[in-house]
Structure formats: structure tokens, C-alpha cells
């Protein structure tokens, strides 16, 4: 009987510890899929093909380890205060202590922040947040395994082609009138 209680206690403790460790970006994406304020796009990893003859085996392996790419586009909303609140919430999520800043870019009309989860040479997730001066914004993420940003940049230089049919369907979303 004592062993049974230890087992129950251990199982309960494990459940509590794992339930408390959540991914804030994952949670944000899940909530956004339920919100009419966002377009949610799941982009297949094979939408872009690379000239693998010009890439080393490690870079090729990393490209093939990309699990998913997701994009959230905030629909244009006439209420600037509401848009600002939604953006600030997204900004708080990616500025969570779980994520490290890769780079920040500010220009006259826009701002971009790239963060990542993992170690610099073994990135598991790259998160992108971009906005313009009117708080129109989008959040993107790329999930992979042990990604190296230098290898990803190297791979982008050798993009062979983009699957036009898949890219066209993604771009159609941007061409539609998106006002709620």
C-alpha cells in the first residue's frame, strides 16, 4: 500500500511539474487560432526547395529537421487602441525570459524583432515579430531541431525555387479585404 501511495504522489508531482512548464508562443498561437482578429497560416516546410549541391551535409540535415512554420497576421482593425493592446500582448510573449533576442531592426516605418529558444548553436524555435507604425503586425515561428542561424542564412542564399502553387495560396490571403 505504501508503494501505491508513492507511485500516486510521484505521478501527481510529475504531472504538476510538466503542466506548469508551458511554451508561451505555442499558447499564443493556439489562442490566436480561435480569435477572429488573426489569420493563421501553417506553411509547409517543403514550400521552399534548396540547391542542396551547394550546401554542406549539416545544413541539409538542419533544413530537413524543420518541423513547421506558422504565421499569424493581425487583421487590420480601425480601433488603434485595440490593435496596440493586442500588439503589446504579443510583444510580451516573445520577450519572455524563455526566449533570447537574436536581432532587432528599427526603421522609419517598421520594427522587427527576432528571438529564439534553445542555445545559439542549437536553436529549437525562431520567433519573428514585425509591426508597422500603425500597429499592423505579424508573428511567425519556425520550429526545428538543433538549428544554427548561420546555416539557415547559408541555406537561404541557395534557394532553388518556391513552390508557386503553395506560395500563391498564401499570398491570396494578403490580397483579400481583411477587415473584420
Which residues does 131 contact at the CB level (< 8 Å), separation at least 6?
A: 87, 110, 111, 137, 138
Q: Is 108 contained in some domain?
A: yes
Q: How far apart are CA 38 and CA 27, in angstroms?
A: 14
Per the structure, the count of domains in the chain is 1
Q: 43 or 87: whose pLDDT is higher?
A: 87
Q: How far apart are CA 99 and CA 127, in angstroms?
A: 9
Q: Is 3 contained in some domain?
A: no
pLDDT above 60 (res 20): no
pLDDT above 50 (res 13): no
Q: Are strands 122-132 and 137-147 parallel, antiparallel or unpaired?
A: antiparallel
Q: Is 16 contained in some domain?
A: no
Residue 170's pLDDT is 52
Average pLDDT over residues 52-69: 83
| pLDDT winner (highest mean) among 8-22, 50-64, 66-80, 91-105 | 91-105
Q: Is 41 contained in some domain?
A: yes
Q: Is 121 contained in some domain?
A: yes
Average pLDDT over residues 135-143: 88
Spatial CA neighbour of 167 closest among 55, 75, 71 = 71
Q: Which of 55-64, 93-102, 115-124, 168-177 has the lowest mean pLDDT?
A: 168-177
Spatial CA neighbour of 102 closest among 119, 85, 77, 81 = 119
Q: Give the domain range for residue 157.
A: 23-175
Q: Is 9 contained in some domain?
A: no
Q: Is 6 contained in some domain?
A: no
Q: How far apart are CA 11 and CA 121, in angstroms?
A: 34
Residue 12's pLDDT is 53
Amino acid at each position: 500500500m505504501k508503494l501505491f501511495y508513492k507511485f500516486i504522489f510521484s505521478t501527481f508531482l510529475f504531472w504538476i511539474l510538466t503542466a506548469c512548464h508551458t511554451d508561451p508562443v505555442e499558447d499564443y498561437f493556439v489562442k490566436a487560432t480561435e480569435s477572429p482578429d488573426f489569420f493563421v497560416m501553417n506553411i509547409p516546410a517543403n514550400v521552399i526547395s534548396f540547391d542542396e549541391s551547394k550546401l554542406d551535409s549539416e545544413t541539409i540535415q538542419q533544413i530537413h529537421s524543420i518541423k513547421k512554420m506558422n504565421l499569424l497576421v493581425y487583421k487590420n482593425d480601425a480601433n488603434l487602441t485595440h490593435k496596440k493592446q493586442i500588439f503589446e500582448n504579443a510583444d510580451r510573449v516573445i520577450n519572455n525570459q524563455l526566449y533570447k533576442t537574436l536581432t532587432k531592426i528599427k526603421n522609419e516605418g517598421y520594427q522587427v524583432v527576432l528571438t529564439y529558444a534553445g542555445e545559439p548553436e542549437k536553436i529549437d524555435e525562431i520567433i519573428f515579430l514585425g509591426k508597422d507604425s500603425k500597429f499592423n503586425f505579424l508573428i511567425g515561428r519556425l520550429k526545428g531541431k538543433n538549428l544554427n542561424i548561420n546555416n539557415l542564412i547559408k541555406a537561404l542564399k541557395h534557394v532553388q525555387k518556391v513552390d508557386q502553387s503553395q506560395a500563391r495560396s498564401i499570398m491570396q490571403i494578403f490580397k483579400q479585404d481583411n477587415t473584420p
